[in-house]
A and B are shown apart, each in its own frame.
Chain A
Amino acid sequence: MKHKPPQIRISQNCWRTIDNELSTPSLQHERVVFALTSSAVIAGRTLILVREVIVPPEGGFTQTHTHGAKWTAKYNLELLNRCLDGRYGLLIIHKHGGSQVQMSWHDLDSAHQLLPRFQADMPQRAHASVVLGHSSADGLVWLPERTESVRDFEFRVLDDHMSTLPLPVCDAGEAQLHAKQALADTATARKLLRATRIAIVGLSGGGSQIATQLAALGFGELIGIEDQRLDPENRLSTDAWNWLDLTMHRKKLSTVKRRISWINPRCRFTGIASRVPEQRTIDALKSSDIIVGCVNNLTARADILEIASRYCIPYIDVGLTIRTADNEPEPARIVAVSGHVFTYVPGGPCLWCCGYLTKGKIEAETGGADRSYLWNRGKNGSKREAFVSPFNGVLANQAACDVLQLVLGYASAGSSLTHKMYDGFSGTLTEWAVSRREDCPHCATGVGIGDPLWS
């Protein structure tokens, strides 16, 4: 099994605080921020998840004769108490100029003096000191219950896109082209796509089309989570299966797997025949870099969001609805073909912040939503399938664009990924402004929790 180094993950709101602080020039000393971290172990890899950023006050530093930063013993004690109170690890972050950076002797010395003491008091957590450059990171990480530090780690930031250091090794020309034109077919872009594992929950109308798009783009690994077989009513929802698949009631997983092997034999497809939130599903979601959810009920969305948030994994939620008039006798007119693509970047606005998920809506949803797009609620109520494949296709393509943006970061900085609403009548996708709600109960406590720390 390939060794996977520990990975530090920083949510959007925490990163913006860190970046803002480290980018503010100071004549007194090097800028330093601290972060309290939780952790998780997923398939043998340790994740270090930033929970809270601490910007030290100016009074916490002492004067030094070097360019570095030195903080007081009293402030160290304050940090240690914060770690012990919340049962957190400590992450120290600072920045050096240039693209390829290394810890200075002073950085190494101070990490070796300080962090083993934190580890002695809080051995169940990881503690680390990291220096960031323009496109590299260096540092020392003390893993839980280990006495030796490691220097081999990954540093993942979730913001307008998901950037992970170290970058793939490529020649300078390819790297420069990628930096300017992220959508160009460069060695860097190909390596980034191949290294990304995406879980797709639900392989019906939307999910099946997203899976084939991502395979065609060259993503390295797709995990399909779906436990249903095809039946004739799936005929109009996607172009991913053929008449024989429908007639033979083949598993959706095996149908999509076959399609993917034709499109891109190098794309590894793993099928998980289970539901949300069964353990196999949870394990598959945890191990992915990005989650795409094409589920038909709010409870499953809430469960997926919880896992995404807990382990700092971006989650793209896709949904399509056909609405009929409420106040007309059946069969009522179709009044809307609407859909959405919501890209949740942990630390940014979530489905609870925008009111898509509410406790009331989830409680009202008993037994799951109806799977059919059109339902005649009259006396002789009957289901009718609808011609939804192209509408699902529009949403699937937009979701694939959002996945691409997360991995390659092709859009300009500050572009919003979050919430796109689709109107099937006018054929438009409109971006809706969504803000993180400070009083959102989910965002306040759920981001970067990691695994429970039992004692």
Chain B
Amino acid sequence: MTLETIQLLEQELRATYPSAVTALDGGRRLVSLPEVDFPKGCRPSMGGALVVLDPNAAKPEMYLSQVPVLPSGGSVSVGTVSIGGQAWQTFSFNVAWEEGKHNAIQYVEAKLARLRREA
């Protein structure tokens, strides 16, 4: 992603999530979203998320402070990664996102949509 795209995505996230905070972390831009709403029926219903905007990556990446239990009561396979000196959880789901065509909110919503489906 270009630096211009990263700046644009950051602005979009800040506009949609007013409590968002950002930090530059070794060339990457981190956007922390203290409260994102998970799909209806997930437990808990909301939680913290981190969006990583890396100039060396083709699209954003999103991590959760805790991946919720799915509406069905099942769970997705969760991995743990270290970002910015903190542990974050991730789950595998390929979001078809294209730079210049899609925006940051579409990415976040598409990623979270995985949690609507059965395990």
Contact (A310, B85) CB under 8 Å given A277-B80, A452-B30, A454-B32: yes
Tell me whether A286 is interfacial, beta carbon within 8 Å: yes
Docked-complex contact A306 and B82, CB < 8 angstroms = yes
Q: Is B73 an interface residue (CB 8 A)?
A: no
B49-79 residues with Cβ-Cβ distance < 8 A to A are: 56
Of residues 53 through 92 on chain A, the ones whose CB sits less than 8 Å from some CB of chain B are 87
Residues on B with C-beta less than 8 A from A394 are none
Q: Residues of B contacting A451 with CB < 8 Å?
A: 84-85
Give the complex CA separation of A275 and B80 in angstroms.
Answer: 10
For the complex, what is the distance from the CA of A277 to the CA of B89, rounded to whole Å? 10
- Interface stretch, picked from B19-27, B100-108, B110-118, is B19-27
B94 at the interface (CB under 8 A from A): no
- Rounded to whole angstroms, the CA-CA distance of A276 and B87 in the bound complex is 9
Compute how far the CA of A452 lies from the CA of B87 in the bound complex, rounded to whole angstroms: 13
A282 touching B22 in the complex, CB below 8 Å, given contacts A277-B80, A452-B30:
no
With contact pairs A306-B82, A445-B26, A454-B32 given, residues A282 and B87 touching in the complex (Cβ less than 8 Å): yes
Smallest CB-CB separation from A448: which chain B residue? B26
Pair B23/A455 contact, Cβ less than 8 Å: yes
Our pick among B80, B84, B85 for the contact of A278 (Cβ within 8 Å) is: B80
Select one of A278, A449, A454 contacting B87, CB under 8 A.
Answer: A278
Q: B87 contacts which chain A residues (CB < 8 A)?
A: 277-279, 281-282
* Chain B nearest Cβ from A402, distance in angstroms: 24
- Interface pair B26/A449, CB less than 8 Å apart: yes
Q: Does A207 contact B (CB under 8 A)?
A: no
Q: How far is the CA of A449 from the CA of B81 in the complex (A)?
A: 17
Q: List 16 A-B contacts (CB under 8 A).
A: A40-B85, A87-B24, A275-B80, A276-B82, A277-B82, A282-B86, A282-B87, A303-B82, A307-B82, A307-B85, A444-B27, A446-B26, A452-B24, A453-B24, A454-B22, A455-B21
> Which residues on B are within 8 Å of A, measured CB to CB?
21-27, 30, 32, 56, 80-82, 84-87
